[in-house]
Amino acid sequence: MSRLSRLLALVAVLLVAGCGKPDFSDAEKKTIASLALNALPVLKPDTTNRFADVPAAAALGSTLFFDQGMSHDGNVSCSTCHKIDRQFQDDLPQAVGVGRTNRRSMPLAGVARNPWFFWDGRRDSLWAQALTPLENPLEQAGNRAAFAHYIQKRFGERYERIFGPLPDLSTVPANASPLGNEAEQAAWKAMTAAQMDDVNRVFSNIGKAIAAFERSIEPAQTRFDRFAIDLASGAKPKADDAFSPEEMLGLKLFIGKANCVTCHNGPRFTDNSFHNTGVPPVKDLPLDRGRFDAVAQVEADPFNCFGAFRDGDAGACGELRFMVKDAPELMRAYKTPSLRGAATRPPYMHAGQFSSLEEVVAHYSAAPAAVEGTSEVHPLQLSDRERAALVAFLKTLSE
């Protein structure tokens, strides 16, 4: 062996040894601990849904979640797009229900902890969210009068054991909704206020049952979490849990120079907020302005926290009450998604714009300008090695 090659070997050994040691500062250790799953607080009760933690409601909700009868054509259920064996998402760039939508299905782990729902936050509770696809013509394409009749026919007894007596629906039209097609809207307008209220009450309880079920869907421990626990306690990680030098570098970048943790923070790796990060629109999809247009939608939703179907008092409505309504940064702002499990569920972004994590990281490194509004992301000029390290770290959140 020549001296030069011996010297090079020595350099390599020292570098690997240097990078292999978790040289984290106290501040970095604190940040890492804040991301670990054991920092996740106990799920808070949802006072707006008094059935949220009623087991029978969750059981009915689970039945409804998987029931294709809960759609206009009898082929679509919540689980069509939120697949139980696929982290409750569908691997498609845009979800396909009765028709093709313009947004990526979101996974459901920890969904009950969200203050806002959908990519743009156009609903403010899990139960109000669950109602929306039921009447969206591209998703389940049903109408609330039909759903009320269906519940009475298929699940009447189970419903009444949880929610009390069903209203008299004998004079309610078979199909009617304020959001339906022309005939359904006309039928809705012809109903009495009491009939509308009866139907809305059954409809809202459908959402409350589905939400009760969804509260049980929580994130699972990953290799990152085991690494973080060992780092905090000073224990030597088990063979499989130890991070490689590349994963270690990725984690350091994630919480440092790459600024990922600015928005992807806390044990769910999300700040639950909305940001314009310059993600390009998808050609041929309808105009999508994200949070900018969602504000009016959540305000107009009769099932929002200020509406008549909320249980409990209005003290639970802080998010809606103090919502930002008109700020330039709402334009094309979308919710920060959780990164847990992200590595095994491409494609990425609100309309599946990027097909791999490498593309996502390259986007944030380059930080192109937004087509509308202003991107909050600044260029990073990460090297190939740094981008690969970030991807390697993100994979530890799926193992």
Partner 1 sequence: MASIWRYLLAGLGLAALLAGILAIVYLTAPQSAPGTDVSRSKKTANGLFVASFQPERGVIKQGELQSWLLTLKTVKGDPVEGAAISVSGGMPQHNHGLPTSPQATDYLGEGRYRIEGLKFTMSGVWQLRFAISAAAGSDTVVFNVVL
Residues near partner 1 (CB under 8 A) are 3, 7, 10-11, 14, 18, 23, 25, 27-28, 31, 252, 255-257, 261-263, 265-266, 271-275, 318-319, 321-325, 327, 329, 374, 376
The position carrying tokens 């330039």 is 328
Q: CA triplet 377, 381, 387: central angle to 5 degrees?
A: 95
The rounded distance, in Å, linking the Cα atoms of 84 and 104 is 16
Question: Least distance (Å) from partner 1 to the CB of residue 28?
Answer: 6
Q: Which residues lie across from 274 on neighbouring strands?
A: 335
The rounded distance, in Å, linking the Cα atoms of 127 and 211 is 5
Question: Least distance (Å) from partner 1 to the CB of residue 64?
Answer: 31
Nearer to partner 1, 161 or 257 (CB): 257
Nearer to partner 1, 145 or 261 (CB): 261
Question: Least distance (Å) from partner 1 to the CB of residue 18?
Answer: 5
Encoded amino acid at 352, one letter: G
Positive or negative, the CA dihedral 265, 270, 275, 278 is positive
Nearer to partner 1, 356 or 374 (CB): 374
Question: Least distance (Å) from partner 1 to the CB of residue 7?
Answer: 6
The rounded distance, in Å, linking the Cα atoms of 193 and 261 is 49
The rounded distance, in Å, linking the Cα atoms of 344 and 395 is 8
Nearer to partner 1, 137 or 245 (CB): 245
3-state secondary structure 254-291: HHCCCCHHHCCCCCCCCCCCEECCCCCCCCCCCCCCEH
Nearer to partner 1, 223 or 275 (CB): 275
Question: Least distance (Å) from partner 1 to the CB of residue 24?
Answer: 9
Question: Least distance (Å) from partner 1 to the CB of residue 204?
Answer: 24
Nearer to partner 1, 344 or 383 (CB): 383
